C-alpha cells in the first residue's frame, strides 16, 4: 500500500510541477501581451497625434486661402464702388447744388 501512496505522491508532485510551469508560462505570455498592447497603443497615439496635426495644418491652410479670396473679393467690390462714386460724383454735386439753389430761390420769394 505504501508503494501506491508513493506513486500518488509522485503523481501529485509531477502535477504541481506541471501546474507551476504552466503558471509561469501564462505569466510570461500575459507580460508579453501587455507590453505588445502598450506598444501598439503608443504607436496609435503617435499616429493619431500626427494625423491631428496634419489635419489642423490643412484646415489652417484652407482657412487662410478662403480669407485671401474674401479679401480679394472685398478689394474688388470696394474698387468698383469707388469707381462708381467717382463717375457719378460730378452729377451728384450738380444735383445737390441745384436742390440748394431751388430751396434758396423758393425761400427768397
3-state secondary structure of 109: coil
CA distance 40 to 33: 10
pLDDT of res. 98: 87
Q: Which of 33, 52, 32 is nearest to 44 (CA)?
A: 52
3-state secondary structure of 1: coil
pLDDT of res. 108: 64
pTM of the predicted model as reported, rounded to 2 decimal places: 0.52
Q: Please list the rounded mean pLDDT of every run of 10 residues in the chain (109 residues).
A: 86 94 96 97 97 95 96 96 88 86 75
Amino acid at each position: 500500500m505504501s508503494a501506491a501512496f508513493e506513486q500518488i505522491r509522485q503523481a501529485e508532485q509531477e502535477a504541481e510541477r506541471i501546474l507551476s510551469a504552466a503558471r509561469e508560462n501564462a505569466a510570461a505570455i500575459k507580460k508579453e501581451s501587455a507590453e505588445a498592447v502598450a506598444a501598439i497603443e503608443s504607436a496609435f497615439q503617435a499616429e493619431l497625434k500626427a494625423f491631428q496635426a496634419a489635419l489642423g495644418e490643412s484646415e489652417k491652410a484652407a482657412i487662410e486661402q478662403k480669407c485671401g479670396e474674401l479679401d480679394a473679393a472685398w478689394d474688388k467690390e470696394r474698387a468698383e464702388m469707388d469707381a462708381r462714386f467717382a463717375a457719378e460724383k460730378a452729377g451728384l454735386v450738380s444735383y445737390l447744388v441745384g436742390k440748394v439753389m431751388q430751396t434758396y430761390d423758393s425761400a427768397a420769394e
